[in-house]
Structures are given as structure tokens and as C-alpha cells.
Amino acid sequence: MISNFWQRIHFFCIHDAHNEPVPFSVMEGSSSFYACPRYMRKDAAHPDGHEDGERACANRISFRDAEKIVEFFGSMYSDDLANGILMDYTGVEFDLRSYHVKVLRYSMNGDIDLGVINKAAVGRRA
């Protein structure tokens, strides 16, 4: 795995209900997980949450699954480097378990934004 790779990754909700990707937030339940800010009802603790009467966004990723997504993408990246392939991954898409992932932004030495949809959580077909 590339060093500091995790620090460069940012997860975004790409649910169809949003006009543009929305950065995931860390949420607390029985365990911590990443979720769309609209997962929670809007209140003082969740200022970007969904309004009363607005449907909640159920898109979320467990930390364990987020790690698997980063490992998968990191392996793809490492394999390409080992084969002398340098490319812009922006727009690359892949499926891993119940997740569909799209590279929204890629910078060789900077941030990597991954758009994620949890098809099992939001009821979207694969």
C-alpha cells in the first residue's frame, strides 16, 4: 500500500437524490461509520441533516468496508505503478460488495475523492 494513502482519501455520497456529491460525515451509533449528513434529522448536532418531512438519505459505509474500498483502490493503483502505468483515475468506477464507487477527483500527490453508493442501504440495483 502507498504510504499516507488513507490521508488522501475523502468519501462522498453520490445518491441520486443529491444534485452534487455530498461529503460523508462520521456518525456514531453502536459503532462509528461514515454516512451522508442527510442520514440524520437536522438539529444542533447535525446542522446538515434532513429537514422534517424530507426523506433521510440512507447511504452509509462502515469503517471496515471503507478500509476494504481503500485497499481495493490502493491495490489497483499499486499494480498500475508496478507496471509503469501512470494515469488520472478520475471517472474510474468499480463495484465492491454492495458498494458502487466512482473516483470523483484524483490527484497524483494530492486528494482523492471517492463517490460511494451503498446499493444495499439505498435499495438501488447493482
The rounded distance, in Å, linking the Cα atoms of 24 and 31 is 16
Average pLDDT over residues 58-72: 94
The rounded distance, in Å, linking the Cα atoms of 22 and 80 is 29
Residue in the structure block whose three cell numbers are 474500498:
69
Residue from 1, 122, 17, 104 nearest 59 by CA: 122
User: Over the stretch 115-126, which tens digit does the pLDDT of each residue have?
Assistant: 999 999 988 544
Count each helix (H run) and each strand (E run) in the chain, helices first.
Answer: 3, 8
Distance of CA 86 to the CA centre of its chain: 23
The domain locations on the chain are 5-122
Please, which pLDDT band fits residue 49 given cuts at 50, 70 and 90?
confident
Q: Beta 112-118 vs 22-23: how paired, if at all? A: unpaired
CB-based contacts of 91, cutoff 8 Å, min separation 6 = 102, 103
Please, which pLDDT band fits residue 50 given cuts at 50, 70 and 90?
confident
Average pLDDT over all residues of the chain: 88
- Residue 64: burial class (beta carbons within 10 Å; 0-12, 13-18, 19+): exposed
The proportion of the chain whose per-residue pLDDT surpasses 90, expressed as a percent, equals: 54
